[in-house]
Amino acid sequence: MNFNYIKCPCKDCDKHTDFCHSVCQYYKDYRTKYDEEVRKVNKERYIDVQLTSMKKERQSTLKRKYGPFKP
């Protein structure tokens, strides 16, 4: 996954310190957007996997019932 269009506010931040992510509001907003995008992409991938699985299952059922496809 590559979300380059969501810019992380930590890059070139002059207020950056160790462990500052827990208190930085800019980072919290960024992380919320990032997590939302990740959830959206994962949901789309899950749907694609489910559809592919259903197609393969249907093909194997038809193959068992009618034999291999012969054009």
Distance CA 54, CA 14 (A): 52
**Containing structural domain, residue 29:** 1-63
Domain count for the chain: 1
Spell out the per-residue pLDDT of the chain, length 71, in tens: 566 677 888 888 888 888 888 889 989 999 999 899 999 999 999 999 999 999 999 989 988 888 887 76
Cβ pair 5, 39 in contact under 8 A: no
Claim: this prediction has a pTM higher than 0.85: no
70 found inside a domain:
no
The SS3 assignment for 46 reads helix
Domain contains 36: yes
Residue 20 domain flag = yes
* Residue 3, C-beta contacts closer than 8 angstroms, at least 6 positions apart: 34, 37, 38
